[in-house]
Amino acid sequence: MAFRLALLSNRLFSTTTVTSMLLKDKAFIDNEWVNGHNGKTFEVINPGNGALINNVPDLDVNDVQKAITAARAAFLTYRDTTAKQRSDMLKRWHALLEKNKDELSKILTLESGKPLIEAQAELHYGNSFVEWFAEEARRSRGDIVPSPVSTKKLFVEKEPLGVIGIITPWNFPLAMITRKAATAIACGCTCVIKPAEDTPLTALAIAELTIEAGFPKGVFNVITSSANNAPEIGKLFCESPLIAGVSFTGSTMVGKILYQQSAQTLKRLALELGGNAPFIVFNSANIENAVKCAMGAKFRNAGQTCIGANRFLVQEKIHDEFISKFCEAIKKIKIGDGMKEGVTLGPIINKKQFDRIAKLVEDTKNEGGKIILGGNALKNIGELFYEPTVIVDVTREMKIYHEEIFGPVVSVVKFKTENEATFLANDTRSGLAGYIFTEDTAQMQRFSKTMEVGILGINEGLISTAEAPFGGVKESGLGREGSHYGMHEFENIKYVCLGNL
């Protein structure tokens, strides 16, 4: 069914029209487009202008149980497919995702608010995981281990884990799904995917393409639910004996709930949680490069990324120069509706997040932080737009130093010595990403070693790619996504001993 939506703009924009076979209003279970058993729905809103995009089913645990049962039934045959068959299937899906890039980018921008140019970049990034794992599917292999006795032969085999429950956030509505689901499917697992309530439409759109790609029924299920039903569904994922593993990207708070709930079934968990990334600029840094990278690491997706630079730690001697050049670059940001040509910063995803960011800035001001740029809501553009903001003189006594900002707000701490920088960088329970800027190669080496993070960018702000492992240490999570390491999360190791030879 095709939908034609005329999205009335607020006073800033002209009418935006989307016609797409990919815009869905049903959940996807066992290759069928379905409503929930009670017929309830919830609204998906464009954060850029408050317009309704679509209504989708508000599934509850009864509906999700059906999806889990379908995924388990599918697993019993899907696990026997060959690596080559899975690879071919993922390649077909990849080709369709590429072919429909423009349409998918528009849906992604409508529901997430991110600028179209960033949505296109997400398509490029998200699709690359499907391509990568189509290739990795054929490279996952076991071992034949030399036996200590001549009458035995020892084999180590890789087997798919089973049904994977996938829960994703709204900040990368496509990539967070492809990064998990393509891996699971490459390994021979089936999945039940619960996208975030703010952004279920991209997930449903890519589900439509799995049909054309020839996915067997029950391999890829997308269940939509409102925020109200999310906790119950998460609990079901953790407790169901039919689910073998749960892969989650989202807040540390919810990650910890899932961890606790999984104790009873000892579920395999992959958790990609929040960060508090330090972005360290040393005296020896190339300031122009540091500023360029800071723009991407901070303002991509309006600062709503888990590897986003959260605390700028800037060494005393170059502090003022870096801040002044950074502010000049920030002033060039073009704020507005993501669909509008030239826009580089969109809205905050929803009111809850918006209010949290506004309060954090207000609190920092009251605690003694100095706002040197921005610091205001931009209600003239729309309800959820917040000015790019720079706060200096931040100290570790302030709340903003410890919290994941998840918004277009730069928080700057000045430091004197390298020891101080090491302390500040690791002075957090999070350990996802970190960035250092220095031209001193010995300093690079020292910091590669001391930074307590899963991902480190040296003189680079754009660090994530399908070929490299993504994941954190400390309370930023468990496991890795992407790269060949990503396959381990969805595989069991079986040792087979052939005896009496």
Q: Which are the catalytic amino acids?
A: 272, 306
Q: With CB under 6 A as the contact rule, which of the stretches 95-103, 122-130, 165-173, 336-344 interacts with ligand ADP?
A: 165-173
Cβ distance to ligand ADP smaller for residue 322 or 386: 386
- Told to check if 257 binds ligand ADP by CB under 6 A, we report yes
One residue of 35, 69, 251, 459 binding ligand ADP per CB under 6 A: 251
Query: What are the helix (H) ranges across 79-169?
Result: 83-99, 101-112, 116-136
One residue of 126, 162, 234, 407 binding ligand ADP per CB under 6 A: 234
Cβ distance to ligand ADP smaller for residue 384 or 487: 384
Q: With CB under 6 A as the contact rule, which of the stretches 228-236, 293-301, 357-365, 412-420 interacts with ligand ADP?
A: 228-236
- Three-state secondary structure of 258-319: HHHHCCCCCCEEEEECCCCEEEEECCCCCHHHHHHHHHHHHHHHHHCCCCCEEEEEEEHHHH
Q: With CB under 6 A as the contact rule, which of the stretches 135-143, 246-254, 429-437, 480-488 interacts with ligand ADP?
A: 246-254
Cβ distance to ligand ADP smaller for residue 194 or 311: 194
- Told to check if 61 binds ligand ADP by CB under 6 A, we report no
Q: Is 486 exposed, middle or buried (0-12, 13-18, 19+ CB in 10 A)?
A: buried
One residue of 7, 230, 242, 372 binding ligand ADP per CB under 6 A: 230
Tell me the number of residues near ligand ADP by CB under 6 A.
14
Q: Mapping DSSP to helix (H, G, I), strand (E, B) and coil, where does residue 475 land?
A: coil
- Told to check if 167 binds ligand ADP by CB under 6 A, we report yes
Q: With CB under 6 A as the contact rule, which of the stretches 31-39, 98-106, 193-201, 452-460 interacts with ligand ADP?
A: 193-201
- Three-state secondary structure of 28-84: EECCEEECCCCCCEEEEECCCCCCEEEEEECCCHHHHHHHHHHHHHHHHHHCCCCHH
Q: Check: CB of residue 72 under 8 Å from CB of residue 242.
A: yes
- Told to check if 231 binds ligand ADP by CB under 6 A, we report yes
Least distance in angstroms from the C-beta of 74 to ligand ADP: 23
Nearest to 191 by CA among 236, 222, 213, 212: 222
Q: How far apart are CA 501 and CA 497, in angstroms?
A: 11
Show the site string, 195-214: x = touches ligand ADP by CB under 6 A, - = not.
-xx-----------------
Q: How far apart are CA 230 and CA 225, in angstroms?
A: 6
For ligand ADP, the binding residues in 285-324 under the rule CB under 6 A are none
One residue of 89, 236, 254, 330 binding ligand ADP per CB under 6 A: 254
- Told to check if 475 binds ligand ADP by CB under 6 A, we report no
Q: How far apart are CA 79 and CA 102, in angstroms?
A: 33
One residue of 36, 169, 278, 338 binding ligand ADP per CB under 6 A: 169
Q: With CB under 6 A as the contact rule, which of the stretches 47-55, 71-79, 229-237, 449-457 interacts with ligand ADP?
A: 229-237
Residue nearest to ligand ADP (CB): 234
Least distance in angstroms from the C-beta of 154 to ligand ADP: 40
Cβ distance to ligand ADP smaller for residue 318 or 360: 360
Beta bridge partners of 335: 345
The β-bridge relationship of strands 309-315 and 277-281 is parallel
Judged by the rule CB under 6 A, the positions of this chain that interact with ligand ADP are 167-169, 194, 196-197, 227, 230-231, 234, 250-251, 254, 257
